Structure 1
């Protein structure tokens, strides 16, 4: 009998994994610290559902925890249908935990300095969101909404979230003043950068492409001396201005490295071939092969 697809079943081992739960707990704790210590008392917005919740809380005086659970409920369901049941369960746990801690965790207002609120509030909530993502869930349904609407609108996730947040900050400017809205934009930008850094980490993977006449020596360097995995494509080099008709077969070497390794590899390759052509581009995720083996060995 064929087992259910991963999308269609709840992976309870993943849900109950201690490391994942620790990420969720610490991430939610940092988000609560940011919201109660910095953002909510000073009427500062973030993007997404969190921003809407703070906005409605300030305008209509509705309990912030009720708003967070209510507004995220639809997106948990969409995540359940479109992304996976395990993701939905972990997201539901994170959202409920966030709502409970917002009620029962006493955190005083830490500062009234607007720049400090914008920077440290953004850093804390961005780091918290990133840790929750690493734990397998989210505490803001905007990302789920973007995934759900992308197929229907043709816009990218980033474009959908940008339009969504433009409306939030526009309302915030009208309700609380343009200065608060502008500082809230700093909060959102800081939070976004912090989230990306936590999710991708300092070891964000980069694809490095190398084209050289000394391809065999470079393969030896990468595999035998540096312990990297490589992929080789057959290609042609040449076609230069003034000698377009001149070309030759070559191997295009591709290796996936962390950004900390780029300079080291570039210098080593240039020692072999000073005329080597190299270009890099970021990749969102890499797994398996040499990368996987190194991680398990660590």
Structure 2
């Protein structure tokens, strides 16, 4: 058990180290030289750096420090400590690693600066670290208002980009919004990867055949709900019992599943939804830290 903990600890450190290097590359190679911004606390730090010319390494630590303390009470002390280590590591990277400026093209800076930033934050998240404390602030605020965490983060970022638009011009703010979007998409891909799970619900008159194919051919577990199908406009009083099949697949398996269902019943009703967290059952996934 001790060896496993050491192994996972080293893997976490590797993840956050790679994440810090990517974030440093995004900031010093793309965003800072071109006066661009990102969302969250990093965006606030970049805004303060631009307005008052304070050293970005020190600003990131100072701005995040209240949120690290908040994380100790809102989440747990271990997470707060790991977040502090990640932020300090990013600050040291910005202070001492000499990244070159890659480009001055605004579109390239927006897309690739955001992408590298997202990769860095996502890698740190896979290691259980956080390089931006805005999620902690959203969690704290969400307990006191009726908005979701995503809505709160969006609101915080809107304020940041509005200030940037007033102080530094609308074009800079618009390009920075593109940077934030690129970063958020990269984070989702790094954290979820190609193993992102999708829930699939299938309503079909050929449910018996579909159940057998999903289990025996695709190798997936299924859950069956008892329902009724029919209730059409021209024959509302006519219905028939049916099995509603639900299963969970990765994004790589989704197309194969749809092809299987279509071959068995071209008129089957299929809808999907992204699943963020899974645990238990027969579903398997590589361990994520």
Q: Answer yes or no: same fold by TM over 0.5.
A: yes
Size of the aligned set, in residue pairs, is: 284
Q: Secondary structure, in 3 states, of the residue corresponding to 1:291?
A: coil
Q: Which residue of 2 aligns with 1:100?
A: 92
Matches within 5 A, 1:189-200: 189-200=181-192
> Which range moved further: 249-258 or 175-184?
175-184
TM-score (norm. length: structure 2): 0.92
CA shift for structure 1 position 15: 9.9
CA shift for structure 1 position 288: 3.0
Matches within 5 A, 1:47-66: 47-66=39-58
Matched-pair contact (CA < 8 Å) for 1:23–1:134: yes
Q: Secondary structure, in 3 states, of the residue corresponding to 1:249?
A: strand
Q: Which residue of 2 aligns with 1:42?
A: 34
> Which range moved further: 14-23 or 246-255?
14-23
- Which of 262, 265, 284 is equivalent to 2:276? 284
Q: Which consecutive aligned stretches of 4+ in structure 1 deviate over 4 angstroms post-superposition?
A: none
Hey, what's the Cα distance between the residues in 1 that align with 2:32 and 2:286?
Answer: 40
Matches within 5 A, 1:150-229: 150-229=142-221
Hey, what's the Cα distance between the residues in 2 that align with 1:247 and 1:276?
Answer: 16
Matches within 5 A, 1:1-298: 13=5, 17-292=9-284, 295=286
Hey, what's the Cα distance between the residues in 2 that align with 1:215 and 1:27?
Answer: 46
User: What per-residue deviation string (whole Å, max 9, x for no partner) do you get for residues 31-87 of structure 1?
Assistant: 001111111122111111111111111222222122111111121222222223332
Hey, what's the Cα distance between the residues in 2 that align with 1:125 and 1:220?
Answer: 44
Q: Secondary structure, in 3 states, of the residue corresponding to 1:265?
A: helix
| Cα 1:274–1:61 shift into 2, 3 Å | closer
Consecutive unaligned residues in structure 2, runs of 5 or more: none
Hey, what's the Cα distance between the residues in 2 that align with 1:15 and 1:139?
Answer: 22
> Which range moved further: 78-87 or 181-190?
78-87
Matched-pair contact (CA < 8 Å) for 1:32–1:101: yes
Hey, what's the Cα distance between the residues in 2 that align with 1:121 and 1:274?
Answer: 44
| Cα 1:249–1:165 shift into 2, 3 Å | same
CA shift for structure 1 position 268: 1.2
CA shift for structure 1 position 230: 0.8
Hey, what's the Cα distance between the residues in 1 that align with 2:107 and 2:62?
Answer: 31
TM-score (norm. length: structure 1): 0.89
Hey, what's the Cα distance between the residues in 1 that align with 2:58 and 2:84?
Answer: 14
User: What per-residue deviation string (whole Å, max 9, x for no partner) do you get for residues 9-41 of structure 1?
Assistant: xxx938962222211111111000111111112
The root-mean-square deviation of aligned C-alpha atoms, in Å, is 1.9
